[in-house]
Amino acid sequence: MTPTALSLAEAASLTRSGDLWLFTGRSAADRAIRAFTNSPVNHVAMVLAVDDLPPLLWHAELGKSLPDVWTGQLQRGAQLHRLEDAVTTWVHRYGQRAYFRQLEPPATREMEDAALSVVAERTGSQFPTTRRLVGRWLRGRVRREASFEDLYCAELVAMCYQRMGLLGEERPVNWYDPGRFWSGDRLELRGGAELGPEIRVEVPPP
């Protein structure tokens, strides 16, 4: 049976490349994102757990709370962080609840390489302003692609999943929002891949 909750250490030991981590918060901005997209979550990120490295979290955010593992710099936008550090920051500093979903079957080495190519290309890509974020999402509703000069979190995950062969390209990446990656949306992946149910992650006090 799939557990309904795990400690952060347990979840970090189980998570693999391609797994998704989802967050839901209480701030006005968090609630606005969920209301606008009719979604229970306001942020999505993807794991890269390559060889014997600690698991890393690849996501796009407005803040610059942690050094980017790829560049070694504090930067806004697309960022690669140590997973446990990032989740702890999102839970305790940003007031979020964390969940993760496992990709089955696990990502292949070729999929990991494809995702790493996105990291190499997009690290440091800016997070859009609120106005541009709304505009990008609305263009996605009518399947009109937006430029890649800036990216929000769901676009970055969708781009990785497309490059990994898990999502088709019939929809542009700006069609996706965080809620598309929640189980209630029943996202259809290619190649027989599936995402498991949400598992709540309990993070100890800092």
Quick check: is 136 in a domain?
Answer: yes
Strands 56-61 and 77-82: antiparallel
Instruction: List per-block mean pLDDT (blocks of 10 residues) for the chain, which spans 206 residues.
Output: 83 97 88 79 95 93 90 91 97 95 97 96 75 58 60 92 96 91 91 95 91
- Write down the pLDDT at residue 150: 72
Range of the domain at 185: 5-201
Structural domains of the chain, count: 1
Quick check: is 139 in a domain?
Answer: yes
Quick check: is 176 in a domain?
Answer: yes
- Write down the pLDDT at residue 134: 59
Quick check: is 143 in a domain?
Answer: yes
Which residue type does 1 have? M
- Write down the pLDDT at residue 2: 60
- Write down the pLDDT at residue 129: 56
Distances (CA, A) of 89 to 1, 72, 82, 114: 29, 17, 11, 27
- Write down the pLDDT at residue 4: 86
Quick check: is 206 in a domain?
Answer: no
- Write down the pLDDT at residue 33: 78
**Cβ neighbours of residue 171 closer than 8 Å, sequence gap 6 or more:** 140, 143
User: What CATH number has the domain bearing residue 170?
Assistant: 3.90.1720.10
- Write down the pLDDT at residue 136: 59
- Write down the pLDDT at residue 131: 61
Tell the residue number behind the tokens 């969940």, with chain if given: 99
Quick check: is 102 in a domain?
Answer: yes
**Assigned token pair, 88:** 């702890």
